[in-house]
Amino acid sequence: VSLLSRLNDDMKTAMKAKDKESLQVIRMIKSSIQNEQIKEGHDLTEDEELTVLSREMKQRRDSLHEFEEAGRDDLAEKVKSEIVIVEKYMPEQLSEDDIRQLVQEAITQTGASSVKEFGKVMGVIMPKVKGKADGNQVNAIVKELLQS
């Protein structure tokens, strides 16, 4: 079942349940996917859909961070519940241990030995964890392992 069909089904369910919050988030995701389809000029592959979903998730995580720093708990709570809804459509997330293992493999594969080669390692690791891990977390682990 494609992501768009799943979104449409969930949208109908949310309408029937009068779940305004889910409905709003589902519509935003669906709109982003359709905009990307128009931009690309073809139906999106699973990988491209994942890219759009990851972007939606990143925007919400960034917003959450900003709201928490500004002390806007009301807005932070709203974004937290949106994140929970978006997570339903994301692939299962990797554990920190899994990420560490993949990063270690990427470091070995690239032969990186210092933080100067950070970009090389990130270039290898990011396609492997796309949509399955938060980029900021991966970034922190790569830096940590390259410094040790």
pLDDT digits (tens, 9 = 90+) for 54-104: 899 999 999 999 999 999 999 999 999 999 999 999 888 888 999 999 999
Interior/surface letters 105-120, b for 16+ CB within 10 angstroms, e for the rest: ebbeebebeeeeeeee
Output the pTM of the full model. Answer: 0.78
pLDDT at position 148 over 80: no
3-state secondary structure of 103: helix
Mean pLDDT of the chain: 91
Nearest C-alpha neighbor of 104 from the set 71, 69, 141, 140: 141
